[in-house]
Structure 1
Amino acid sequence: MKRILVFQTAFIGDLVLVSSLIKSVSRSYPGSEVYLACRKGYESIYEGFKFLDGVIPYDKKGVRDFASRLRDMDFDVVFSPHRSHRTSFLLFLSRIPLRVGFDTAGFSFLYNRRVRYERGVHEVERNARLLLSVNREAVVDLAPELFVSQDEVKGVREKFSLNFPFAVIAPGSVWPTKRWIPEYFASTGRYLMERKGLVPVIVGSKADVPVAEEVFRSIPFAVNTAGKTNLRELMALIAGSKIVVTNDSSPVHFASAFNKPVIAVFGPTVKEFGFYPLGKNARVAEIPLYCRPCGIHGGRRCREGHFRCMRDLTPDRVYPLIDDVLSANDFEKKSGIDS
C-alpha cells in the first residue's frame, strides 16, 4: 500500500486516541504515506507528529466535494473509526478501493471491510482491530501519543508566569452531568497546593469559562487559563504538569498521550465504554450506583433527579488516588524507571 488514510472527524478525545492507530499503521507499512482526515480546527493537535505525512481538515460541509478531493489523492485504503452515516457515505463516494469501518457505523454496508465493534474494551484496542482485519501481522502500538516541543511548554509557562510545579484541573465538559461539583474541584485544588506543593492551573475552552471561574473563586491562588489558550497551549500545559485531575472529557486523553499521572472523575459514564485513562499512573474516581451508567455521553440533567454519581463522589475519595499516582511517579523517577 502506497497511500493510507485514517478518517476520524469526531470530537477531540476521539481524535487524540486515534494516534495509536496512526502509529500502528505507519509502523506496519514502512515507506507508505499516511494521512489523517479530521474536523477542521483540530488539525493543530497533530503538529510535529512524526507518524503522519499530512493532515486533511474537513468542515463537514460539501460531502461530494470532499469525497472528490480524497479520490484525487489516490488512497489505497482508509481506516475509519468514525461511525456516522455521513462518513460512510463520503468514503463510499471517495472510491477508495479498500474501506474499513465498524459494523455498527451508520450505512455500514458501504464499507467493503466491516469489523465488529466490541464493547467492554478500550477504544484504542477497538481501533487497532480495524488494522488487524487487513494485516494480521501488523505492528500494533496501543499507547496514544502526541508531540509538544520544549519551546511550546516554555512558551505557555511564560505566558501564564508558571515558574513553579503545577497541577492541571479541568472542570469543564460539554455534558453538564459529566461535570464534577465545582466545590469539589476547588477542594482538590487546595489539597494539591497545601499537601503536594502544586499550584492548580485551571484549563478549559471558552465554553468552560463559567465553571472555571466558579472553581477559581474558591482557590484564588490558582491560575485560571480557561478560555485563554489554543489547542497547542492546552496540550503544552498538560505536558508540563505534574498531574491532571479532570472530568471524563478530552484532557483525560491528552494526559494519556503525554503519559501524565491522571485522575479521571466518572459519574454518568463508566470505564466499560472504553474511554478511560491509560498508563500506569492513571486512575478513575467513581462510585457504584444502581443508575450508572445513564448514557455514553452523560446528559443535560440527572434522570433520577439526585445526581448522586457526582455529589456522593466527595473529594476525600479522590485524595488517596492523587497520593497513589504521585507517589508511584516519584518512585519511578528516583528508580530510573521510564514511566
Structure 2
Amino acid sequence: MKILVIGPSWVGDMMMSQSLYRTLKARYPQAIIDVMAPAWCRPLLSRMPEVNEALAMPLGHGALEIGERRRLGHALREKRYDQAYVLPNSFKSALVPFFANIPQRTGWRGEMRYGLLNDARVLDKQAWPLMVERYIALAYEKGRMQSAKDLPQPLLWPQLQVNDGEKVQACEAFSLDAQRPIIGFCPGAEFGPAKRWPHYHYATLAGKLIDDGYQVVLFGSAKDKDAGNDIVAALTSQQQAYCRNLAGDTELEQAVILIAACQAVVSNDSGLMHVAAALNRPLVALYGPSSPDFTPPLSHKARVIRLITGYHKVRKGDAAEGYHQSLIDITPERVIEELTALLRAEKEV
C-alpha cells in the first residue's frame, strides 16, 4: 500500500502527526508512507522512521493557487498512491490528492471539501478531545472508531530518533561545556509574550541551575533571540558564561539534536515543547491562556504547570511587558520543584 499524507504546517502539529504514521505502520507493516509538507519540516520527518519520503509543499500557508496545486497533483500520479490522508482542515489542502487521482482520500470534513475527499469524517469534538486522537482515528475505517475510548491503548505517541554520535558532534560544534549537563530552555512562543513565562523567571531558574553545576542553552527561532537575550542579561557575569542563547543561531535539525542532548527541558507551550516530548526528554511545560486539554506534551516524562482552567484567546497579556498574569504567577520555585523531581526520577531509571 502506498500512502500520501498531506501534513500540517506547524511544528507542534507536525510532531503529533507522527502518531498517525506510527499507527498506520503498525496496522500495515508493508505500507510506504510519504508526507507532503513545507520544506522546513524535512528535519523532523527525516527522524520519523515510518516516513519513506518527505515531499516539499512549495506553496505558502495561505496560498490557494489552484493551478499550481493541479500541477503538483498531476506530477504525483506516476507514484500511484492507493490512499491519501489530509490532516489540515482547509479546502486547499485537499486539492493535491484530488488532482493526483488517489482512489481513497480520507480526512475530517473541514471546509467545503465534498468531492475532494471521498472518505470524509464528521468530527464530534467531544468524542475526540485531543488532536493526536483525531489524527490516529483516521488510520481506521470509517465508523469503526466512535470515540477516543475505542482507540487501542496505549496510543503510539511521537518518537524522534537521534543517535549519540550526533549529540556529541552538535555539542562540540556549538562549543558547549562537556563537563556540565545541559538544561534546555524554550522561552519563545508563536503568538508573543502572552504565552511566555516571563524572562525574569527564566533567569532566576537559570541562575539556580548554573549555580548547581548545569549549563543552560536557550532554543528558538530568530524571533525569540531578544527574549533569550533578556534572560542572559538578567544573570550575573559569572553565570552568563554558562548560559548560551542559540535562538535563531541553529537550523531546526541542529536544535532537535541539541535538545536530544539535554538532561531536561523547560518550555512554554510551543512547537519545540512537542519536539522535546517526542525526544523523551524530562520536560516541564508551562501553560497560561493556551490550554493543554487539546495539545498536551505527549510524554510520560512531561509535567504540565498551569494555574488557570479553560481556553483563553489572549494574544497580548495585560501585565507588564505583555505577559499573562497566570504565567507570572508560576514561580521559579515551583518549576525547580518539578524539574528536580524529574531529574531524580531519570537518575533512578
**Which category of TM-score, normalised to the shorter sequence, fits these structures?**
0.7 to 0.9
Cα 1:48–1:258 shift into 2, 3 Å: closer
* Superposed displacement of residue 136, structure 1: 5.4
Of residues 181, 200, 203, the one that matches 2:198 is 181
1:95-132, Cα deviation, whole Å (9 max, x unpaired): 211111113x2224232222325356332222110112
CA distance in 2, matches of 1:303, 1:74: 53
Which of residues 108, 111, 122 in structure 2 aligns to 1:106? 111
Give 1:77 shift. Answer: 0.8
Aligned to 2:17: 18
Deviations 1:273-307 (A, max 9, x none): x2111222211111126xx5223xx52x1379882
- Contact 1:9-1:58 within 8 A present in 2 as well: no
**Unmatched 5+ residue regions in structure 1?**
334-339
Are the counterparts in 2 of residues 34 and 53 from structure 1 also a CA contact under 8 Å?
yes
Query: SS of the residue aligned with 1:241?
Result: coil
Contact 1:6 1:78 in 2 (8 A): yes
SS at match of 2:341: helix
Distance 1:200 1:306 in 2: 22
Q: Is residue 213–residue 224 contact of structure 1 (8 Å, CA) maintained in 2?
A: yes
Distance 1:317 1:158 in 2: 32
Specify the SS of the correspondent of 2:188.
coil
Counterpart residue identity of residue 86, structure 1: K
1:125–1:142 CA contact under 8 A, matched in 2: no
Matched-pair contact (CA < 8 Å) for 2:273–2:285:
yes
> CA 1:122/1:80 → structure 2, altered by over 3 Å: closer, same or farther?
same
1:143 aligned to 157, 179, 182, which one?
157
So what's the TM-score if we normalise by structure 2? 0.85
Deviations 1:216-248 (A, max 9, x none): 112313122111111111001111101110110
**Structure 2, unaligned runs of 5 or more:** 61-67, 146-150
Letter in 1 for 2:26: R
TM-score by length of 1: 0.88
Counterpart residue identity of residue 311, structure 2: P
Equivalences for 1:94-243 in 2 at 5 Å? 94-103=100-109, 105-109=110-114, 110-115=116-121, 116=123, 118-119=125-126, 121-133=129-141, 141-162=155-176, 163=178, 164-176=180-192, 177-195=194-212, 197-219=213-235, 220=240, 221-243=242-264
Out of 264, 279, 293, the residue aligned to residue 311 of structure 2 is 293
**Distance in 1 between the 2:300 and 2:15 partners?**
18
Does 280-289 or 84-93 show the bigger shift?
Answer: 84-93
Aligned Cα root-mean-square deviation (Å): 2.3
The whole-number CA distance in structure 1 between the counterparts of 2:143 and 2:347 is 40
Q: Please state if 1:262 is matched with 2:268.
A: no
CA contact (8 A) 1:260 1:281 kept: yes
Partners of 2:216 and 2:244 in 1: CA distance = 6
Note the alpha carbon deviations across 1:244-285, whole angstroms, 9 max, x for none: 10110011111111111101111111111x211122221111
Which letter maps to 1:145? Q
Corresponding residue number in structure 1 for 2:329: 312
Q: Which runs of 4+ in 1 moved over 6 A?
A: 137-140, 303-306
Q: What amino acid sits opposite 1:233 in the alignment?
A: Q
Distance change in 2, residues 1:112/1:327 (3 Å): same
Distance 1:303 1:201 in 2: 29
Contact 1:244–1:262, Cα closer than 8 Å, also in 2: yes
Q: Is residue 225–residue 245 contact of structure 2 (8 Å, CA) maintained in 1?
A: no
**Counterpart of 1:302 in structure 2: which amino acid?**
G
Instruction: Say if 1:130 and 1:191 are closer, same or farther in 2 by CA, change over 3 A.
Output: same
Q: Is 1:87 the equivalent of 2:93?
A: yes
Distance across 1 between alignment mates of 2:344 and 2:142:
42
- Per-residue deviation, 1:135: 9.7
* Cα distance between partner residues in 2 of 1:254 and 1:41: 14
Q: 2:306 is aligned with what amino acid?
A: E
8 Å CA contact retained: 1:35, 1:55: yes
**Cα separation, 2, equivalents of 1:226 and 1:117:** 39
* Aligned residue identity for 2:195: K
Q: Flag the 1:161–1:37 CA change in 2: closer, same or farther, 3 A.
A: same
Mapped to 1, the partners of 2:323 and 2:198 lie a distance apart of 13
